[in-house]
Structures are given as C-alpha cells and as structure tokens.
Structure 1
C-alpha cells in the first residue's frame, strides 16, 4: 500500500475542467506552420472521419509525415538525409505549397472516400499562396515526395487477412470481451519503414504461469485494474482513462511542443517524421512479439485463474477491467511500445528530457500537465495496469522493445547529411 501511495504522490498536476477543447473536433491553429496545419488535417482524416484504431493510425501518420518531411527537406537544400527522395527543388519554392501537396496526395491515396473534404482543405491551403513560379515549384516537389511514398507503401501488407493465433490452454490468447474481435494481426507482418527486420527485436517473454512473478502481476491488475476496484484511487482512475483515450493524447502533445518551442517548418517536419516513423516501426516489432508469445489478457486470465496451475491466483468469473481491452494479444504492451518510441523521438530531437507539455482527453474530461518525458512515460506504464488491460511485465518489456527500435530508427534516418 505504501508503494501505491508513493505513486499517487508523484503524479502530475491535473486540471479537472471539462475538455471541450480536448480534440472532440480538431481545427488548425491560424498561427501554425503548414506542417502543423496538415498534421491536424491528417488527424481529421485518419481518426475523426476515418476512425482508424490507434495502431492503424500509426501507419497513416508515418506515411503522411514521411512525405511531408522529404518535401520540406528538399526545398531547404536537403540539410538532412532524405527519408525516401530529395526531388530537385529551388530555395524559393513554396514550402507551404509543398507541404499541402505532399500531405493531400498521400491522404487522398489513403482515404479516397474523403476526396471532397480533402480537396477543400487543399484548395484552402493553395488559395492562401500567391500564384507564380514559387507555388508551382512547391506543388511539384510535394507531388514527387507523395508519389515516392505511395510507391513505397503500396503493397506493404496493410489490412491483410492475417489472424491472431487462438488457443484454449492456460496462458494462450483468445478474443476478448465485449466484442471478441479478431482484428489487427496484419500489423505484425507490415513492411517496416526504416529497420531491416522488426523480427530482430525480441522480448524475454511473460513469466511462467506457475511462478511468483506471474501471480504477483495478475493479482496487482486484478486489484487495481478492476472496473469496481476499491483500492485504485480517483487520481489513478483518471490517469488510466486519460491515457486510454483512442484519440491519442500523444498527437496533441507533439503539436504543442512544436508550437511552444517555435519550431521552423523544417524543424517541425523533421521532428514529426522522426517521432511518427520511429513509432510505426516500434509497433511493427511489438506486434510481431505479440503474435509470437500470444499471451492471454487479464480480462481472460483473471476469470480463469483457477485453471492456470498457480496456487497463488484465484479465479473471479465476474471480473471486468476499467477500460475495454484492445483486440490484440497481451505481450508486450503496444501502448508502451508506442509511447516509448514517441518519447525517445522527442528526447532525441530536443536533446533533453525536461520538456513541459499538456494535453486534454475527451474521455476523462481533464487536462494533464507534465514537466518531463520520462515522468509521462512512467505514468503511462502504471496507467495500463490501472486500466486493467495489461500486466506490469507487458508494459515494462514493451518500453524496452519500443526504445530499442526507436533508437535504431533514429540512428539510421533523419540525421544531418554531413554526419
């Protein structure tokens, strides 16, 4: 109980004002640079309209931001290694036109049914740019980087009919309530964006069912993660809900950091690409491990704990988690892999951990504030237990995996050309 109290005391400050501004509808900030504006348009297409899952959205954001980065980098004279291409460009070419064109073209490819709304956003962006050679040049650069990205991702394995291995033995994953879905396994075989083979990254695996470590982890999430928990504090409940919002708070955090640090268009494009592509490859590696270990979720394991062969666990057929369990295997935690990759990318870009930021969640109705990347990540790892959707070991090992992949991505891509 002392440990739990200590965790509560170290949580960030929280504003409990209702978050109408919490991205129920996202709109571009008029003061934003073009990269931020089109990142907001991307979120609208990807989530607000397209309703892609957080995992699927990771691929989409990486595709958009990779194309945008190459366009901005080319017009700036290619000071950084291009992700895919560095099309011929002049210094005077319009960067806003290039950003809008690159983002629009790949979003149209991803979401052809949203053609009308995307075309309207694109027209609005171009109408704000004076006609002439600079505008035409920027459009041509954006067209070239979008074409390269579409060609690279056209047959990347997305949305295949891959299935999660289902078992009936203790410890084996099976579809989870309430909908018992069999979706998302294709991410495990998705073509990576940077790393050679996501299968090179391995996790140690879940603890043995009959051991003390497993019993300790199961009993922790059973007590803290229950929908009716009497030991989870209101603060922990709020944090668990905030981090579990499918409109990921990480999206808003990245944009806020770009604004508050007054990043240039080139800096913003590079930072977004670093973070989004590192996150995508980390999740691909994470999903490969999920498929390899195919370990059962707490929502399955706790009701069946009498059958796991561990005398220190007891089944509770009525147990349910605070938050709905995602339709993927338990180990390692995808959210831990993702958020670790995001924080690794931000730490690498800014060269520091002590960044201040905040974001709002419509699900929790609150805004949370942080003064370091590591503190935010530490809370996310706890929050997955408080939400009842992961064991602690799944989050810890997800953090290690996500960090390893993200570091390799950032070692191989987006660096200065003269390095």
Structure 2
C-alpha cells in the first residue's frame, strides 16, 4: 500500500492529521446534504430502489458540479464541465444538492432553502460565490432532466405466482429491472444463473439452515438483534442509506472533491445494483423460506420436511421474490466501493442503523465484515436462503468492480483503482 493510502487510513482510524494552510475545502456540505437526503427517504417512505436513485442523483449532481471547477478534472458522471472559471466549488456543491432535493422532495423545500442560505452565508459573497451557485444549479437541473425518462416510472408490478418454488404475492417496483443505469454499461450482464433446483441437495441444505436459524419459535436473541439491526424497511433510510451513512462516517477527513467523488461512486453503484437485483428477482420469482418450509411436501425433494406452522423470525414473509437478497446486493456493492476507494478493506468504524435495537451501535473491523453480517441477518430473520445471500453479495461486488474500474477516473495517469493511488 502506498504511503498516501496509509496516511488516509490512519486519519480515518483515529490518528490526528493537521491540515496544511492551503488545504482544499472540507466536505461538510457533502455530509449535510446527504443527511437531508437520508431524512427525505425516511419521510417519504421511499422504496429501496427509489431511495438508491435519490442518493445517486444528489451525489452525481454534487460531484459533477465540483468536478467541473476542479483542475485537473476527472471524467464526469453525467454532466461534463468545465464550469465558469474561478467559481466557488463549495457554492456549486450546495446549490447542486439543494436543487436536486427541491425537485425530488418539494414538500420540504422550506428546510432546504434555509440550509442553502446558511451554507451560502458561510462563504465570502461576491462573483466567485455567485458563479458557483449558478453552475451548481445548472448541473443539477441537467441531472434531473437526464433522469426524467430513465424508466423508474411508471410503477410496474409482477402478478402473484403459484406452485412449488414460485413467489406467491404480487410485488411492485419491477420497472427497475430495465431502468437506465448511472454507471455500468449493462446491468443485465450481472443477472446470475438460477437458484439451486428444488430437488437438489444444495437446496435441501440451505432449506435446513433457514428452517432452523430463521424459526421464530426458537429463541435466539442474538440472531433476532442482528436481523433487526440490518432490517431497515420502508420508513428508514433503506439498505442503501445505511451504506451512505457508513461512507459519511469514514470520509470525515476528506476534502470536498474527494468526498464528492466517493459519494458519487458509492451511490451510482448502489443504484445500478438495484437494476441487476430486481432483474434477477423478476426472472426467477423464487419463493421465500416461509412458503417453502410450509409447503415442502410439494417441492419434490426427499430431504426437506414441511412445517405448516413455521413462521420467520422477522415476523413477515417478505415483499418480493427471494432470489437474491437485495440487502446483500447493496452491502456487497458498498463494501467493495469503499474498500476500493480507500485501498483498504480493514478500516474500523462504528455504526448505528435506523433499526438498531435500543439504538445501540456496532463496531466493525472492516467493510466486508459489516457486509457479511448484513447478508447473514436475512437468513437469521427467515427471509432468505444462504444461496440468495451469497448471490446478492456477488452481484454487488461485480457491479462495484466495473464502476471502480471505469468511472470518475483521472484523465491522465494513475486512477483511484488498481494500483490504488488517490
């Protein structure tokens, strides 16, 4: 690992770093406006897919606004620069974020207006600030316009299914299987092969594990707490939002341009992971453990036993097809982006989710450990089989690998990926 990466990791894990006199602008605005986006997702009760799209639009606009005023600029996300010469990148960042959130969440415009004014009051007035605001707004309007026809609306549904192996309920949001991606070339390339056949030994093994670990009738306070910690359903910041929060935690020492890039890479990856995940669910329509266990006498497998009274530890069957686990997909994607950006997986952090029992935080030694726990939590809740956890993690990792290798790169010289210079 190169010296610059080591210095960054030390800064993130507790060592005090003194900023030089000519340090770049700090990334407080990125943090503040992402926290507003998290609050908007909670308030609007956004779906996991809509939440990921919101986070991506916000952070793409901020990145492109800042990147258009940075020399030398990296490749753009959606809107190419350059912006006006000498414009203030902080003003551009807050104006871009404000414009996106007002368009996506107009009910809270007054709060966004107040925060914008607070941010701008902290900057030196004059032509430089005004040009930054103008450029940030222009970028944001173009980002919003570019996503207006991305396929995220109107809402589509897949009808309820029937028979062995098939998810039984109607579920909505299936239009996301063909939504235009933010960063990858073809999300459909990440739709994997099918889950194990119902009459296979692999299926029976996963069935037995879920039937035991996810059984609400078997007391297991530790497993229930882990499920609850990562459950983050509608009304929370959603799974993507928890990884936005983690990224904000570990990026406190980054300057504005770097923080904007990290958040854009992360949220574009999360949004594109949605497309591959929904596409996989739609293709295979696999039944949830609750249905599978209650109706195991119909699966044609001699090694599975039905339990008509079985109930998942989570308390609900699950609202979409089982294969793969969407929580796992988001977690695999985010952990890979964060490890790739910082050139290190083993960065210790403490995190509290929106659904943490008693609000108690947990500390993780690495991004991958957190992602692994988030994925396993779905098995503990009786919501998923382990093969769907592993498939979800793999989808997310694959999407993230493409994004890191191809997007927001330096125009010349080494990039943020591969040999890992920042």
Q: TM over 0.5: same fold?
A: yes
Which runs of structure 2 are paired with 1:3-402 in the superposition (5 Å)? Answer: 33-47=28-42, 49-89=43-83, 92-175=86-169, 182-230=171-219, 232=220, 234-246=221-233, 247=237, 248=239, 249-259=242-252, 262-323=253-314, 324-363=316-355, 364-365=357-358, 366-402=360-396
Rounded Cα–Cα distance in structure 2 between residues aligned with 1:56 and 1:217: 31
Unaligned runs of 5+ in 2: 1-25, 414-422
Rounded Cα–Cα distance in structure 2 between residues aligned with 1:349 and 1:183: 34
Unaligned runs of 5+ in 1: 1-30, 176-180
What SS is found at the alignment partner of 1:309? coil
Rounded Cα–Cα distance in structure 2 between residues aligned with 1:362 and 1:143: 31
CA shift for structure 1 position 91: 6.2
Alpha-carbon RMSD: 1.8
What SS is found at the alignment partner of 1:396? helix
* Count of aligned pairs: 379
Rounded Cα–Cα distance in structure 2 between residues aligned with 1:154 and 1:280: 15
Rounded Cα–Cα distance in structure 2 between residues aligned with 1:161 and 1:101: 30
Render the CA deviation track for 1:261-301: whole Å, top value 9, x for unaligned. Answer: x0111111000011110111112111111111111111221
CA shift for structure 1 position 412: 1.7
Is this contact kept in 2: 1:88–1:141, CA < 8 A? no
Runs of 4+ in 1 over 6 A off after TM superposition: none
CA shift for structure 1 position 99: 1.2
Rounded Cα–Cα distance in structure 2 between residues aligned with 1:393 and 1:86: 41
CA shift for structure 1 position 127: 2.7
Rounded Cα–Cα distance in structure 1 between residues aligned with 2:75 and 2:317: 40
CA shift for structure 1 position 165: 4.5
How does the TM-score come out when normalised to structure 1?
0.86
